Amino acid sequence: MSNGGGSTTTDWTSPDTRTLIAVLYEESQRLVVALHGADRDTAFQLPKPRDGHTWHLLIDTARDVPAPDPALEIAQHFLLLAPRSVVLLAERPVPA
C-alpha cells in the first residue's frame, strides 16, 4: 500500500489491501478517517500538521473508550491501527 503518495491500480485491486485512509479538508479544518478491515495491526504515517496545529484523536473503535473526552493529542507521526477498526482524527490549533 502506498504511504501518502497516492494509490496505484495494484493497491486498489490487491486482496491484501484492507485499509482506506482519507484526508478531508476545507480551508480551516482537516480530518483523517482511517478504515482498517484487516485482522492484524497496521501502522500509517499521519500527514504533517499545518504550522501551529497538532493531530487529535476523536474516535478509535479499538479503544475501551472509543471517543476520549477531551480528544487525545497525537505527538508521533505514525499511528497504529488495530484490526477491524475505524479511527477519526482532527487537526486542531496548538493552544497559545
Residue 1 covered by a domain:
no
Question: pTM of the predicted model, to two decimals?
Answer: 0.84
pLDDT higher at 17 or 75: 75
Residue 48 covered by a domain:
yes
| Cα–Cα dist 11/18, whole Å | 10
Cβ contacts of 50-54, under 8 Å, gap ≥ 24: 50/91, 52/93, 52/94, 53/91, 53/92, 53/93, 53/94, 54/91, 54/92, 54/94
Q: What are the pLDDT digits (tens) for 24-60?
A: 999 889 999 999 999 999 999 999 999 999 999 999 9
Residue 2 covered by a domain:
no
CATH number at residue 29: 2.60.40.1180
Residue 71 covered by a domain:
yes
Give the C-alpha distances (Å, rounded to integers) separating 31 from 10, 12, 83. 26, 22, 21
- Phi and psi for 34 in degrees, rounded to 5? -120, 125
Q: Which residue has the cell 505514525?
A: 78
Number of domains in the chain: 1
What was the pLDDT predicted at 88?
97
pLDDT of 5 higher than 90: no
Residue 30 covered by a domain:
yes
What was the pLDDT predicted at 2?
47
Residue 73 covered by a domain:
yes
Domain span at residue 44? 9-93
